[in-house]
Chains A and B, each alone.
Chain A
Amino acid sequence: MTGTIEIKVTVSEVVTPSLFAALMEVSNPRQRAALLKRLADDALRGRENVGLAYSAQQGRTVAQQTAVSDSGTLPAHTQMKPASVVDKRPQTLADSKEAPSETSDDAHLNYLADSLSAFA
């Protein structure tokens, strides 16, 4: 049996500027998705037995690995599941281990910028 994973990914210029720039070079959506897969696969093949979560840990500075550190977003991971299974968002704040990553989509970034520009 062959597994497939369906993922909807938002690539933000703020969060991953290099990846954003690379993907902007390609205008066709299918080719853009293919490029994303190739970049991710190439990165994984370049490391032996290293998952994404582990590589994220390795990228930290010594201070950021102290006992008092916490990684902010949950470790990057994907989960094998049938395409029919729908993601469930946390029902309460207490259910969510953390809020989503700090600046996750453009609409929210714009809302923050509109609301907080007076403080900048």
Chain B
Amino acid sequence: MKTHASVLAVDVGYGNTKVAVRNGSEVSTFMFPSLTPDYQARTMTKQSNGVLRAIRTVGIEVNGKQYEVGPEVPLTSRNGDPGRTLVGSYCTTDSYEALLGGAFHFANVSSVDRLVLGLPVQTFQQHAEALRSKFSGTLQFGDEEVRVGNLMVLPQPLGALVHFSQHPDFNPSQRNMIIDVGYYTTDWVVAKGLTMEERRSGGHQSGASHFFQKMAELIGAATKESALAIEEIDEAVRERAPYYVFNEEINLDHYAAQAQSVPEAAVNAIGNSVGSTNDIRCIFLTGGGAALYEPAIRAFFPRNRIEVVKNACFSNVRGFFAAGEATQMRERDKKRKEAMTA
């Protein structure tokens, strides 16, 4: 039985979809890969009487087509999917919609008063309004229906700043910079308190996928094997697990060091956009690729305090959730006061 939630926050990234929902006095978060291969029902699992374990995916129907979505979607399915390539209008694709449907499914939510979504800084102005109208009201995923009272759209890195605005070190009168290293893009926001300085904020088409792609090219050249899946390299780096090409174990640290030219290009773009950083109290690194870009960022901004956010991949969605609850509470109070005076 699916439930009603006051607020549901979903950060549909190019790499992973992150979700935050209140669960009693806690806020629970989970994520699944932003992959949407064609759905194929696994009849063998059903017929095996429990011998084969059912994988945690679900078929989500968008515009008459079923997509497979979930924590255990096959990683190698990234190839060839239309939602994989970097497109500025990613939020308008069927893949995006299917991932959102998956978020509702795995959060076990069928209706929500306020849905909070994020957009990259570069495409925020272009798509925020379209997103609001597309994902408000009743959303249909085949036979499944979810209801959204209203939609709040935030620039993605602002989520991390909102999340850390509760920390004792946060001062609303001082400037901080958030650098959000995503899968395909790196976004940065300079903000005084929570007020964004748009002139010093922006995005660069560089992220964890470009880093792993560079590693794959270097490993491919060394091993004379061109068809290496970057998702496998990604997983091995994140989990510090051994990585093999055929039977040869690869020293990933060696290739990660050689791939530093990728983050260096992004950091140069940040430096050009932000200018002098002597007025910035702290630089927060967030996003799934934060650890990969950290050495280049520390080298470029040696005099700034730099904090790498723990559980960085969830910090945006946590901030989205906090923003959703705070604004929802304000509106509830306003309605209550209006009802009392009426």
When the two chains form the complex, which single residue of B23, B26, B327 contacts A117, counting CB atoms closer than 8 Å?
A: B327
When the two chains form the complex, which single residue of A15, A61, A93 contacts B169, counting CB atoms closer than 8 Å?
A: A93
CB–CB B28/A72 < 8 A? yes
Interface residues on A, range: 35 or more
CB–CB B309/A93 < 8 A? yes
State in angstroms the CA–CA spacing of A11 and B309 once bound together.
27
Is B77 an interface position by the 8 A CB rule? Answer: no
CB–CB A109/B318 < 8 A? no
Among A64, A104, A117, chain B packs the most CB atoms within 10 A around the CB of A64
Q: How far is the CB of B93 from chain A (nearest CB, A)?
A: 23
State in angstroms the CA–CA spacing of A16 and B23 once bound together.
10
Write the A44-79 contact mask toward B (1 if CB under 8 angstroms, else 0): 000000000000100111011011111111001000
When the two chains form the complex, which single residue of A69, A113, A120 contacts B29, counting CB atoms closer than 8 Å?
A: A69
Chain A residue at smallest Cβ distance from B163: A99
When the two chains form the complex, which single residue of B162, B168, B282, B284 contacts A116, counting CB atoms closer than 8 Å?
A: B162
Q: A60-B23, A109-B326 are in contact. Are A71 and B165 (CB under 8 A)?
A: no
State in angstroms the CA–CA spacing of A16 and B331 once bound together.
18
CB–CB A59/B23 < 8 A? yes
State in angstroms the CA–CA spacing of A71 and B23 once bound together.
10
When the two chains form the complex, which single residue of B26, B152, B330 contacts A71, counting CB atoms closer than 8 Å?
A: B26
CB–CB B195/A115 < 8 A? yes
CB–CB A61/B108 < 8 A? yes
State in angstroms the CA–CA spacing of A22 and B169 once bound together.
34
State in angstroms the CA–CA spacing of A30 and B5 once bound together.
33
CB–CB A13/B71 < 8 A? no
CB–CB A112/B30 < 8 A? no
Q: Is the interface of B mostly helix, strand, loop or mixed?
A: mixed
State in angstroms the CA–CA spacing of A42 and B67 once bound together.
46
CB–CB B167/A96 < 8 A? yes
Chain B residue at smallest Cβ distance from A89: B168
Count of inter-chain pairs, beta carbons less than 8 A: 150
CB–CB B150/A64 < 8 A? no
Q: Return chain B residues, CB-CB under 8 Å to A16.
A: 24-25
When the two chains form the complex, which single residue of A68, A70, A92, A112 contacts B322, counting CB atoms closer than 8 Å?
A: A112
CB–CB B168/A66 < 8 A? no
CB within 8 Å of A: which B289-330 residues: 307-311, 314, 318, 321-323, 325-330
Q: Return chain A residues, CB-CB under 8 Å to B153.
A: 119
Is A8 an interface position by the 8 A CB rule? Answer: no
Q: A61-B108, A63-B30, A70-B311 are in contact. Are A76 and B25 (CB under 8 A)?
A: yes
State in angstroms the CA–CA spacing of A111 and B321 once bound together.
15
Q: A59-B24, A61-B108, A68-B30 are in contact. Are A112 and B168 (CB under 8 A)?
A: no
Q: Return chain B residues, CB-CB under 8 Å to A99.
A: 163-164, 166-167, 318
State in angstroms the CA–CA spacing of A117 and B330 once bound together.
9
Q: Return chain A residues, CB-CB under 8 Å to B318.
A: 72, 99, 102
State in angstroms the CA–CA spacing of A117 and B195 once bound together.
12
CB–CB A120/B150 < 8 A? yes
CB–CB B31/A102 < 8 A? no
Is A108 an interface position by the 8 A CB rule? Answer: yes
Q: Return chain B residues, CB-CB under 8 Å to A98.
A: 310-311
Q: How far is the CB of A10 from chain B (nearest CB, A)?
A: 11
Write the B184-207 contact mask toward A (1 if CB under 8 angstroms, else 0): 000000000111000000000000
State in angstroms the CA–CA spacing of A71 and B311 once bound together.
11
Chain B residue at smallest Cβ distance from A17: B6
Chain B residue at smallest Cβ distance from A116: B323
State in angstroms the CA–CA spacing of A35 and B6 once bound together.
27
A-B contact pairs, 14 of them (CB 8 A): A16-B24, A63-B56, A63-B107, A68-B30, A68-B32, A70-B29, A76-B25, A92-B307, A93-B307, A94-B307, A98-B310, A102-B321, A112-B323, A116-B323
Listed in ascending order, the chain B residues whose CB lies under 8 Å from chain A are: 6, 20-32, 56, 71, 105-108, 114, 150, 152-154, 162-169, 172, 193-195, 282, 284, 307-311, 314, 318, 321-323, 325-331
